[in-house]
Amino acid sequence: MIEEVISYSFGSKNLLDDALTHRSYFHECPNAARTHNERMEFLGDAVLGLAITEALFREMPEASESELSRIKSHLISRETLAQIAAQCDIGRHIRLGRGEDITGGRAKTSVLANVMEAVIGAVFLDGGYRAAAEMVAGIYADLILHAGRQRSFPDFKTELQELNQKLFGRLPEYRLVDETGDDHDKTFTYEVHVDGKLCGRGSGRNKKAAQTSAAGMALEKMKATGISPDTSIDVAIEEHGDEEKTSVI
């Protein structure tokens, strides 16, 4: 049971059902669902941000504002949310439409992350902010502990910029290639070109996050080929391809 994993018992079980209902299920089975979870996801996103900010502020009194900001961005990213959702085994409880289910929706990062936010929003509606903050602190306990020890997470854009200036004497170029979703839940996709060559692609809820994701892929490719000032970027593209896609928030 989800309630056991998140250590919270809902007074209104309907709220949990709403949080687990994907738009595809609501449209296919309108008589079996009151609503879908997108509004609750929107609420949960805000609650999560405040809860993580409060937890980091209390647990890391020596951290600077910039350190706290970087760590928060990592903890509330879609990848981290999807990781937590998988650990909570939320995927098998999601109410999905047939098509979304067949195409692997229960394992999609975006679906898992959105449902996790919706569940946080549902706890907030059912028990208030303190209940939601305690639930977030519980499911994030190990990650917050790790963050306190590590103190920071990689800044891929800065790292790629510094590496490219050293190797090629120029900055990487980011190009917006796609923008999808509703106004409250947009996804941006960027490509990054290194020395004039396509070397990474990433998506995120804002432009900075998408660019950071693309930069992370570019760095991974470059490091995997042991790239140096005498090594062509073409090698990285040829060996690894550009089909992979990652996402952060």
Residue 45 known to be catalytic = yes
% of the chain at pLDDT higher than 70: 88
- 68 with 119, same domain: the answer is yes
For 51, the domain range is: 2-150
Judged against a pLDDT cut of 90, whether residue 117 lies above it is answered with yes
3-state secondary structure 22-53: CHHHHHHCCCCCCCCCHHHHHHHHHHHHHHHH
End residue of a domain, out of 98, 131, 150: 150
Higher-scoring residue by pLDDT: 122, 170: 122
**Structural domain count of the chain:** 2
- Long-range pairs for 159-163: beta carbons < 8 A, 24 or more residues apart: 159/215, 159/219, 160/192, 160/194, 160/215, 160/218, 160/219, 163/219, 163/222
Q: What is the CATH number of the domain that holds 236?
A: 3.30.160.20
pLDDT per position as a tens digit, 71-90:
898 899 888 898 899 888 89
Higher-scoring residue by pLDDT: 169, 25: 25
**Catalytic one among 17, 38, 45, 191?**
45
- 161 with 221, same domain: the answer is yes
- 9 with 131, same domain: the answer is yes
Q: What is the CATH number of the domain that holds 51?
A: 1.10.1520.10
- 77 with 190, same domain: the answer is no
- 121 with 135, same domain: the answer is yes
- 125 with 185, same domain: the answer is no
Distance CA 247, CA 227 (A): 24
End residue of a domain, out of 150, 184, 217: 150
Distance CA 111, CA 108 (A): 5
pLDDT-derived band at 57, boundaries 50, 70, 90: very high
Distance CA 203, CA 132 (A): 28
- 108 with 33, same domain: the answer is yes
**Catalytic one among 17, 117, 126, 191?**
117
- 146 with 80, same domain: the answer is yes
End residue of a domain, out of 121, 150, 179: 150
- 22 with 62, same domain: the answer is yes
Given this model, what pLDDT does residue 150 score?
A: 66
Tokens of 138: 């519980």
Lowest-confidence pick of 16-20, 171-175, 231-235: 231-235
pLDDT-derived band at 115, boundaries 50, 70, 90: very high
Residue 67 known to be catalytic = no
Angle at 150 between CA 109 and CA 208, to 5 degrees: 45
- 67 with 26, same domain: the answer is yes
